[in-house]
Amino acid sequence: MARSYVQCDLAKCCRDRVRLQSIIQASGLSALTKCTYKKTRKTLIAAFVERWQPETNTFHLPFGEMSITLEDVSMLLKIPVMGKVVDLSFDVQG
């Protein structure tokens, strides 16, 4: 009996995955699915974290202050910041 329960959950999971993939594709955010923690350089992230100043929302670097903009994030992550708004309401508990 437990086996059919697992198969049922697996089938639902696959349907949900296909639905989620189509939503991500339609939103223009599919480039985010290729971003992983494995591709980051931990030492570089640590260096930026040490230099972050939350009071001014800037990085304090040897050559001066630097801030990051929405355009910077868009270019780095290859995601659009212009276009249609994607507003989804769905039950996350299934």
Domains of the chain, by residue range, sit at 1-30, 35-83
Contact 80, 31 (CB under 8 A): no
Average confidence (pLDDT) over 46-58: 89
Burial class of residue 51, CB neighbours in 10 A (0-12, 13-18, 19+):
middle
Q: What is the pLDDT of residues 54-66, one digit of tens each?
A: 898 899 988 999 9
Q: Are strands 52-53 and 64-66 parallel, antiparallel or unpaired?
A: unpaired
- Nearest C-alpha neighbor of 69 from the set 58, 53, 82: 58
Specify the pTM.
0.47
